[in-house]
Every structure is written in C-alpha cells, then in structure tokens.
Chains A and B, each alone.
Chain A
Amino acid sequence: MANHESTYEPKSAVAKWFDERLPVARLMHGQFVDFPTPRNLNYLWTFGGILTFCLAAQILTGVVLAMHYQPSATGAFDSIEHIRRNVNYGWMIRNMHAVGASMFFIAVYAHIFRGLYYGSYKAPREVLWIIGVLIFLVMMATAFMGYTLPWGQMSFWGATVITNLFSSLDGIVSGLGTAIVEWLWGGYSVSGTTLNRFFSLHYLLPFVIAGLVVLHIWALHVAGQNNPAGLDIKTKSDSVPMHPYATSKDAVGLFAFLLLFAWFVFFLPDYLGHSDNYIEANPLVTPPHIVPEWYFLPFYAILRAIPSKLGGVIAMFGSIVVLVFVPWLDTSRVRSAKYRPIFKWFFWFFVFTCLALGYLGAMPAEGVYVFWARIFTVLYFAFFLLAMPIIGIIETPKRLPQSITESVLGGGKSGVAAGATSAPERR
C-alpha cells in the first residue's frame, strides 16, 4: 500500500500551481479517495472512522465547555451547574461531552475486540497495533482527568483513590511513591491545585491523541487494512477504492452509532454517570462505594482482586501493557479467527471475562465478589499468556480461501484468475 500512487489530477490552474508546491490534495486523494480497501470489510471496520469522529466531537464540545468552566475547588462544581442552567444549550454541550466519553470507549472497545478477533495485530501491523495501545492509554488518562473536573464526590474520591495507587511504589523504594503522589497532587492531598493541573492536562492530552492517531493511520496505510478473511490484497479485484465504497459504508456505521449516541445524550444523559457526582466534592465525607466510570471497571476489578496494593497496581497496569506483546504472544500464522476453530471459542470466552470483570468492578470488594474477581483476573491473563501462544501451536486452522475475492464470491464462481478481471474496474 505504501507504494500506492495517487491518481490525483489537479483540475484548475490554481490547484496545479499548489500541487507543485505542497501536494496536500494529492496526498489526501491518494490516502482517502482512491486508496485500495479490501472489498470484504464488514461493519466492524467502521469503528475507525467512528473513533475519529468521537475525538473530533470531544475536542469541539470540550473547547466550548472550557469557555464557561472554572478549574478551581470553589468554582468548578458551580460552573458546571452554570453551564447546565444558564449557558444557552449548555446542557446539550455538556451532555454530549460527558456521554461522548462513554461512547468513545464503547467504540474503542469494539475496535480493539475487532482487532483481536481478526488478528489485526499480526505482521506487518505490529507497530500499528502498539500505537493503538498507546492511544488507548492516553485516552484512559484523559478520561480519568476529565472525570475529576466536575468536582463532585466521585470526581474527588476517584482522583484520590487512583492517584494514591502510585504510593504503592513505596514498597519498592521507600518514600518514592509518596514523593510521586505529592508531586502529582501539588500538595498533601487532592485539592484545587490538583484540579487545576488536571484541567490543563485534560486540555492537552486530546491533541497528543490526535498526533498519535495520525501515526496510527499512517501505519495503517503503509500495511493496508486487515479484513475479515485476514488475507493480504494480492490482486486488483481484492480491493475497491476507499471512496465511494468504504466511505459509504463508514457513513452508515457512523450514523447508526450517532443514533445510540443521541439516545443517551437526550434521554439518558446521567445513566452512565454516578448520582454521587451531583454532590459537591467534600474531603470530609467518603462515599460508601467509590466506583470509577464504567469503562474502567474491568481494570478496577483486577486492581482490587490482588491482595497486595503494589501487586494490584502491577496487575492493573499489566493488564493493559500485555496488549503490547499480543503480536508476539499469538503464535498462529492465520490472522482471522474465522478460520481458527479453537481460538474462536477462547476469544468469546475472553469477551465474557472482560464483561464479568466489569460487573465485579462495580460490586463492593467483599465476599464472593472478590473470589470471582480473582478467578476472572487469572482468566484474563491466561488468555494472553497461555491461550494465545498454545492454541497457535496446537490448532489446525480451517482451509483459507485463495484470496479476498474468493472469500467474497466463493471458490466455485471465481478463483484468483477470474477475480483478476472482476468488477471494480467496470464501475
């Protein structure tokens, strides 16, 4: 794909003049108009575009909110109410931003699970995958700091619990963890100072994500897209131009996703949040159950499953870091789980494991919940560290189609030879 030549032809003298000096239009045309896209992409591949939309929407609504928000311990909570009540359509912008964070994570989880199912992390897409993991990490940091900003009870206590995790480093070097935590807080507890710097970083990090997204797309366009068959594009008939084929499908996916988005923004704006966050932060009153936002719950369950604090922190970060090694943990040469009869089952069990951890993360850390959180934490890591390497070795994959074209049109109708002259050229 890297050697794919843009078919851009400037249509006016000005465009030609510009093209000879800065061929941006040529680049965009080559990468987003006539870029060869596998013809067999399903709707799960629309989440990339959906995620780009989510990032843009969060930045746009966030910039407007920042015009009315006050990042101080005394002003933050009231300024959110000011936005909800007095700013014209402030309630809508605020709902879009708060719900948007959840939608962003719904989309990113669909995107990650799609990558895991179809083996999108395998050669030559390892760097693409790792940049994706980095984006996920920065997204989590951004979301965590964003949740602090309304300065409600869950904001405050969530920030307290999560920043305090670093104090577990005292177990390695005495005083190191405490020093880091005080440095993060800018004091001896979570305070207005902490809120102020979190606001600054919350505004900065989305632009870091945007930069990483550019690299992610760059790496994607070097290797080309993976696809449900997990095969490379070999002949011209295996691919279609991105526009209008992939773009028309992306548009359907995006608007269907917006239906869900709007459903929550207008009818369930507070469903995904916690009611305690409508109580102003109070350092003297600890809520009975401190729970993070839903999208952190599986990781929170892993954190609490380990009896030692440092161990819990290591396990929690490890549960994300392990993703970086997935391209090498999976020993199978076949990409798509469609042709992997054993791995397929383990994949779905892994999805169940993540959902179960999410449920357990929302429950109090006591009794039977802790027991099950431990079981599922072990299963979570076992998927990556045991199932992935072992299944790849013992599994006999199903017969792979000769080409993407064959996987779409069936072996009878079209082999590679027939496919080579097939439809896209006739459009």
Chain B
Amino acid sequence: MKKATYKTLALTASLLAAVVAPGHAAEEGGEAHHAIEHQTWSFGGFTGQFDKAQLQRGFQVYKEVCSACHGLKHLSFRNLAEPGGPEFPEASVKALAAEWPNRITDGPDDSGKMFERPAKLSDPILGPYKNDKEARAAQNGALPPDLSLIAKARSVHNEAFWPKHVLLMARDIVKGYQEGGPDYIYALMTGYKEPPAGVTVAEGMHYNVAFPSKQLAMPPPLADDVVAYEDGTPTKVANYAQDVSAFLAWAADPSLNARKRIGWQVLLYLLITTTLLYFAKKRIWSKIGH
C-alpha cells in the first residue's frame, strides 16, 4: 500500500517534471507544417474567462471585415447581449440586427410568396450568400466557410515524434490546453508573407505560412488601421488578429465562462468528498488488519 503510493508519487513527479520542462509543440512542426505558436489568451487554461472588451473589439473586426464574406449562422443576434459574451446592451444589438445587411428570408406570406425582412434578436447572423453555390460563384470558385465553429474546427496538431509526443500530450492535459483553434486563426491572420524564392503562387491565391497547403484563396483580410477602435487599443494587424480570434473562440464556445466557473465548483466538491470518503474508508478498515 505505502510502496504503491510512493511509486505513484514518483511517477507523478517525473511526469510533472517532463511537463514543466520547456518544450514547445510549435517547435515540433514537421517539414510540411509551419510552426504555430501558442498565444496567451484571457480565456486560456482552466481559470481563463473571456475579456468582454476584447470580444467587443473582435466583433467589430468581424462586422467591418469578415462579415463581407463569412456568416455566423449558429449564432443569434441575442447571443451578443448575453452574459459570458461581448455583452453589448440589448438595445444596440436590436438596432444592429435591424440594420444587418444580410436580411432574413421569411414567409410564405398570405399571397404565398417568400419575402425578406430585417433581422430580429432571435435570428441567426447571416453572411452575404444565400447558399454555397452563390458564394462560390461570387468568390471565383472558393467557398468562405461559416465562422460560428471555426475556432473548434481548427487546432494545432501535436506533430512531435514519440516519446515527446506523449509528454506534450500530458502537458496539454495538465494545463487544460484547448486554444488550438484561436492559435491557428491568429497564425493565419498574421501568416501572409512573400512566397519564398522558387514557389509560384497560383492565380487568385495568396501565400500564407500557417495554411496547410500554404496557398489560400482568401486575400489578406487585415491591414493596419482598417478598423477604427474606440478604446485606444493600437490599430495594428496583430491586435485585430488577437481580438477577432478571441471573438471567434467565443462564437464557437459561448458557454466557456459558465463552464469553467461551474467546473471549479464541481472539482472542489469532488475533492472534499473524495477526501472525506477516503478517511471514512480508512476508519472502517482500521477495524481489521490489511
């Protein structure tokens, strides 16, 4: 019993040492993969929460830049006013919905015809295209994906060869790393570079070091000073990229704040109960030799 405990402790300690020891998944990128750096996020790890001001700025970037091509169909306008998100005042979200250029197709009306109307709080945040075909026709064959889940649908892959692979895995579990999506989006937003010598970029494509095939149809969406921030945050590409990545992380996981808050309460309860049960068990078993 005691011996087993020491063994477990030793194992845990060596595992922790391996985890804490510097090692960056980013450095491990294979030849084909660009190293995607882990960023620092307010909502990262297991204590992180979204930064309301950042989400508001991120939405501004989405609205003024991304929404020209991309929708957020799994989000409703009302979500923008709900707790744990950008928390815009409801009145301004109502106004925003009413002015949203991509209107809602409704109907049929009494004459049997479909009609368009302005969006309400309960309506989804639509992109400019009615369907994928229309999008491709307008975008030279490329399809701008819906962004509601993009931060969950992308991640940073652990490319390390084992046994380092296993150690990085353990590190991610211990640190509660779930921010691969925003890390990737940030890398993509800031990854537009001049193609290296010898690489020919296909017509209508753009060179980006973070994109898996290095060439993507989306032109660089951000440039310094394209969005006018009102809170004094520098209007640089890096700031825009940070903010819009954070906003998309929220869009994909709007319950994150509540999840982590409840998570700590649950863990605390379980920790106390486990301890009590352990001492109860010790007491019960103390009556007999074991």
Give A contacts to B, CB under 8 Å. Answer: 39-40, 42, 78, 81, 84-85, 91-92, 95, 240, 244-245, 248-249, 251-252, 255-256, 258-259, 262-263, 265-271, 275-276, 278-279, 288, 359, 408-409, 422-424, 426-427
Asked if B288 lies at the interface with its beta carbon under 8 angstroms from chain A, I say yes
Whole-angstrom CA separation of A252 from B279 in the bound complex: 9
CB-defined contacts of B263 to chain A, threshold 8 Å: 262, 265-267
Chain A interface helix/strand/loop/mixed = helix
CB-defined contacts of A276 to chain B, threshold 8 Å: 153
Give which listed residue, A255, A269, A278, A359, contacts B270 with CB less than 8 A.
A255
Given A248-B284, A255-B270, A271-B178, answer yes or no on A39-B153 (Cβ-Cβ < 8 Å): no
Asked if B17 lies at the interface with its beta carbon under 8 angstroms from chain A, I say no
CB-defined contacts of A422 to chain B, threshold 8 Å: 288-289
Give which listed residue, B172, B259, B289, B290, contacts A266 with CB less than 8 A.
B259
Asked if B233 lies at the interface with its beta carbon under 8 angstroms from chain A, I say no
Query: By the criterion CB–CB under 8 Å, are B288 and A252 in contact?
Result: no
Whole-angstrom CA separation of A278 from B267 in the bound complex: 27
Whole-angstrom CA separation of A42 from B281 in the bound complex: 13
The smallest beta-carbon distance between A239 and chain B, in angstroms, is: 11
Asked if B181 lies at the interface with its beta carbon under 8 angstroms from chain A, I say yes
Asked if B173 lies at the interface with its beta carbon under 8 angstroms from chain A, I say yes
Interface size of B in residues (CB-CB distance below 8 Å): 46
Give which listed residue, B149, B267, B284, contacts A245 with CB less than 8 A.
B284
Give which listed residue, A39, A85, A248, contacts B74 with CB less than 8 A.
A85
Give B contacts to A, CB under 8 Å. Answer: 4, 46, 74-75, 79, 148-149, 152-155, 162, 165-166, 172-173, 176-178, 180-181, 212, 252, 254-255, 259-260, 262-264, 266-267, 270-271, 273-274, 277-278, 280-281, 284-285, 287-290
Query: By the criterion CB–CB under 8 Å, are B281 and A40 in contact?
Result: no
CB-defined contacts of B288 to chain A, threshold 8 Å: 39, 240, 245, 422-424, 427
Query: By the criterion CB–CB under 8 Å, are A262 and B267 in contact?
Result: yes
Given A251-B281, A422-B289, 5 more A-B residue pairs with CB atoms under 8 Å apart are: A81-B148, A245-B284, A259-B274, A262-B263, A408-B290
Given A81-B74, A256-B274, answer yes or no on A268-B285 (Cβ-Cβ < 8 Å): no
Whole-angstrom CA separation of A426 from B286 in the bound complex: 12
Whole-angstrom CA separation of A266 from B253 in the bound complex: 12
Query: By the criterion CB–CB under 8 Å, are B274 and A40 in contact?
Result: no
Give which listed residue, A85, A252, A262, contacts B278 with CB less than 8 A.
A252
Given A252-B281, A427-B287, answer yes or no on A266-B266 (Cβ-Cβ < 8 Å): yes
Given A245-B285, A251-B281, A275-B155, answer yes or no on A359-B180 (Cβ-Cβ < 8 Å): no
CB-defined contacts of B264 to chain A, threshold 8 Å: 266
Query: By the criterion CB–CB under 8 Å, are A248 and B260 in contact?
Result: no
Q: Which 5 A-B pairs have the closest CB atoms?
A: A266-B263, A278-B153, A423-B288, A278-B152, A248-B281
Give which listed residue, A252, A255, A359, A409, contacts B166 with CB less than 8 A.
A359
Query: By the criterion CB–CB under 8 Å, are B281 and A249 in contact?
Result: yes
CB-defined contacts of A91 to chain B, threshold 8 Å: 255, 259
Given A268-B176, A270-B178, A423-B287, answer yes or no on A84-B280 (Cβ-Cβ < 8 Å): no
Query: By the criterion CB–CB under 8 Å, are B165 and A359 in contact?
Result: yes
CB-defined contacts of B260 to chain A, threshold 8 Å: 266-267
Given A39-B290, A275-B155, answer yes or no on A251-B277 (Cβ-Cβ < 8 Å): yes
CB-defined contacts of B153 to chain A, threshold 8 Å: 275-276, 278-279
The smallest beta-carbon distance between B126 and chain A, in angstroms, is: 14
The winner among A268, A408, A422, A427 for most chain B CB atoms within 10 A is A268
The smallest beta-carbon distance between B74 and chain A, in angstroms, is: 5
CB-defined contacts of A240 to chain B, threshold 8 Å: 288
